[in-house]
Amino acid sequence: MSAALRSYGAGLPARIALGLLVPLALILLWDHQARHGGEHAFAFVSAAQVAGALRELWQSGDLLTAYGNSLRNAFGGLFWGSVTGLAVGSAMALLRPVDWVLTPLYHGLRQVPLLGWLPLIGLWFGSGDLSKVIVVSLSAFYPAVLYTYEGLKGVEARMLEVGQLYRLTPWQTFWRIRWPSALPSLFTGLLQSVAFAWIATIGVELLFPTGFGLGTVMQHGQLQARLDIVVVCIAVVGLTGFAINLLVARLSRHALRWRPVRT
Amino acid sequence: MSAARIDEATLRRSVMVASPLAVLLAWQVLSAARVFPPEVLVSPQAVLAAFGQLTASGELARHLGESLQRLLWGFSIGSGAGLLFGLAAALSPTFARLFDPLFQALRQVPVLAFIPLLILLFGIDEVFKIVIIAKAAFFPTALSTLDGVRGVPKAWFEVARIYRTPLPSLVWRVLIPATVPAVLSGVRLSLTRAWLVLVAAELIVADSGIGQMMEMGRQMFRLDVVMVGVVVCGVIGFALDRGFVLLQARLLRWRAQPAGAAA
């Protein structure tokens, strides 16, 4: 164990250097293209311009405002989608008639690519924040239902038999047996919901030009051919996605630390 | 006992058929009773009529043909490149060290966020759409190939060495059977993602394709056309996924448990 750690530590600087090689080469190539210009020179921006755009967006406060709006939409949608998903998934797993009625509808609706709903939802609810939150909720809803259902259904039969032996009430069976054994699956669902909600937020903002989120800023940048602004937004979107995923993964590891297996 | 079980199975099946029909019926009743104005809720007949009209005029076939062609190109390029990348990264530690950080960083950014950047770089022509679909298809296949090939237990190679297995049979009898299931599930995800992103990209910029048909329908308040688009998107998405699962089951028929059964 310690030997493995040591060899890992010794190789680390070399590894980081190797890993940085390709991105650095790409950035240099990009920068070179921007300054010495080939036929696509208009499309490339130098690293200095990107830094300038970042400063500009930061100082005008646009970046923070847009970021705040996007995060609010994402978390709003995530909240509503997960809560309804949890409720629907539990109802489907615990009550057989509900399962029979909703399963074909759920799988039917799920086939439509998420953003394919946009034109319809746009016609029904306008292109304001409500439509955005609905689409983001939908993106979080699907995985929430699926993993709640699978988690609650997947409880081991012998556990339920032990519950019967102890004459647990249905509520106790749910709370003491089904819920804990469903938790790992629930967290997998949450992880997916979070990722989808963030993707959907950006997609919706790109498609509905109302409001003011990161997607909107990108869209404006694209229309004004300001690649520097677009690049700044991509970086922020990517870093946020990474941070959220990391956070949820940590959270789930913490919440599931009683489990003997590694997740 | 067995009679009761058969009864339950029949009941279950009939409820599962009845529930979508009930939704259709409710839709019909609501639109016939004009609970909502027709601009908000078109009748099922109107949607069917629009479908007939779009089919008869050849418009639907043209849009769908364009979309599927884009999907085919983008998906083949993306998942092919993903397969090669995954193989290279799994087999060569140097390659992995060089490209892994860049790969992981790009993976964090939702595909949709790249749309403005790619529009600036490639314009809004066919190239842009194929690149964005390829990008969407690349990552799942690359990841699952990487995991699949890395996941082959070392002991299997040792056993093969003890038996002095020649390289061709090592590849054919050990490596391919050990990795194909994982790779295929990644390719399946790639296909789903590619379809999702295709529809999204066509909603944002396109002069043809199923997404553009829906977007035009939205702008002209043709709810019937939008509904046709939503249904067609769903059916195509479903057919693609089912088709792939069948193919997967066929390719993996040597396994005890057919892969299609679980999915």
**Domains of chain B and any CATH numbers:** 42-262 (1.10.3720.10)
- For residue A197, the chain B residue with the least C-alpha distance is B110
Chain A stretch 138-197, residues whose beta carbon is closer than 8 A to a beta carbon of chain B: none
Mutate which of A107, A123, A124 to disrupt the B interface (most B C-beta within 10 Å)?
A: A123
- Residue percentage of chain A with pLDDT more than 70: 89
pLDDT band at A197 (very low <50, low <70, confident <90, very high): very high
The enclosing H or E element of A20 equals: helix A2-36
For chain B, say whether A225 makes contact (Cβ under 8 Å): yes
Distance between CA atoms of residues B11 and A196, nearest Å: 36
Q: Is the pLDDT of residue A124 over 60?
A: yes
Rounded CA separation A129/A230 (Å): 22
Q: Give the C-alpha separation, A53 to A59, whole Å.
A: 10
Cβ neighbour number for residue A93 with a 10 Å cutoff: 21
More confident residue, A79 or A210: A79
- Distance separating alpha carbons of residues B108 and A100, to the nearest angstrom: 37
**Closest to A81 in 3D by CA, of A34, A155, A137, A148:** A137
* 50-109 of A, contacting B, C-beta below 8 A: 96-97, 100-105, 108-109
What are the pLDDT digits (tens) for B119-145? 888 888 888 899 999 999 999 999 999
- Checking if the pLDDT of A127 tops 50, the result is yes
Q: How confident is the model at residue A37 (pLDDT cuts 50, 70, 90)?
A: low
Which chain B residue shows the shortest CA-CA distance from A100? Answer: B16
pTM of this prediction? 0.81
Work out the average pLDDT over A129-152. 92
| Residue numbers in B near A111 (CB within 8 A) | 233-235, 237-238, 241
Measured from the Cβ of residue A6, the count of other Cβ atoms closer than 10 Å reads 10
Nearest to A206 among B112, B215, B234 (CB): B112
Cβ-nearest to B237 among A21, A100, A112: A112
A1 touches chain B (CB under 8 A): no
Q: Give CA–CA dist A71/A79, Å, rounded.
A: 12
Please say whether the structural domain A46-255 has been given the CATH code 1.10.3720.10.
yes
